[in-house]
């Protein structure tokens, strides 16, 4: 698909949507906005991982609306790409300016949080970048050459490499709890707040043993429930 011509247009025609996540399959989210209106939204691999825990819940996606296909053949199709934050959407717009990175390829390549990818670009970390799906050594070098001075504003902690010390929730937490903290951070919570929320949930509901159960309990807690 990436070798087809892609024409972006009216990117802010549909710039944000909030609705219930009905399903998520192979990077395509079905979002129910109510009144019988559902949208199919393509999401990057990193957001697909996060949204996997949110089926049946309300989500907000910041979107890019574009046409895909070949204008000469008249087979243009409208598409939506969605992101969990405006910052990620803006980084994506910069990311796809690199030659050889189409929208579909970028969606597959961004399997790690975009702040980490930006940090790896700024740090000129070829090793980390080339391990992303669809990105080999040559494309990693191209990303660094074209974007290293453009993406510092989007950079967060660098991607972990073998032998590097990891940062994250306390080691005393169970693996589902640690994963829940990671998902909450990726959904916009501050790390310390996410850790505190998970701790509170486990203190009052120790039976919440799975990542999904913990996250659902966190949102009930934030909503004033127990």
How much is the pLDDT for 224?
Answer: 62
pLDDT tens over the chain, length 226 residues:
443 344 444 455 788 899 999 999 989 999 999 888 999 999 999 888 888 888 898 999 999 988 877 677 767 788 899 999 899 999 999 999 999 999 999 999 999 889 889 999 999 999 999 999 999 999 999 999 999 999 998 887 666 544 434 445 565 678 888 888 888 877 777 777 788 888 888 887 777 778 888 888 888 877 665 4
Provide the whole-model pTM: 0.67
* Spatial distance between the Cα atoms of 208 and 172, rounded to a whole number of angstroms: 16
Go through the domains of the chain in sequence order and give each one's CATH number.
6-154 (2.40.50.140), 175-222 (1.10.8)
Q: Kind of pairing, strands 28-34 and 77-83? A: unpaired
How much is the pLDDT for 8?
Answer: 44
Q: Locate tokens 């910041």: which residue?
A: 62
How much is the pLDDT for 74?
Answer: 67
How much is the pLDDT for 169?
Answer: 55
Comparing C-alpha atoms, which of 180, 158, 157 is closest to residue 170?
180
| Sequence-separated (6 or more) residues with CB below 8 Å from residue 171 | none
How much is the pLDDT for 7?
Answer: 42
């Amino acid at each position: 698909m990436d070798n087809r011509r892609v024409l972006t247009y009216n990117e802010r025609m549909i710039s944000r949507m909030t609705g219930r996540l009905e399903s998520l399959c192979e990077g395509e989210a079905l979002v129910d906005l109510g009144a019988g209106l559902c949208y199919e939204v393509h999401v990057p691999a990193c957001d697909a991982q996060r949204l996997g825990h949110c089926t049946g819940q309300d989500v907000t996606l910041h979107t890019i609306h574009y046409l895909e296909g070949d204008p000469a053949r008249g087979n243009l199709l409208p598409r939506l790409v969605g992101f969990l934050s405006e910052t990620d959407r803006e980084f994506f717009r910069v990311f796809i300016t690199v030659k050889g990175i189409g929208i579909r390829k970028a969606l597959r390549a961004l399997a790690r949080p975009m702040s980490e990818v930006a940090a790896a670009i700024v740090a000129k970390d070829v090793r980390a970048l080339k391990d992303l799906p669809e990105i080999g050594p040559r494309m990693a070098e191209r990303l660094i050459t074209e974007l290293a001075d453009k993406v510092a504003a989007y950079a967060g902690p660098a991607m972990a490499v073998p032998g590097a010390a990891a940062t994250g929730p306390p080691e005393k937490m169970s693996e589902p709890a640690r994963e829940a903290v990671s998902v909450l951070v990726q959904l916009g919570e501050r790390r310390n707040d996410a850790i505190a929320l998970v701790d509170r949930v486990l203190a009052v509901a120790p039976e919440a043993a799975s990542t999904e159960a913990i996250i659902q309990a966190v949102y009930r807690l934030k909503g004033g429930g127990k």
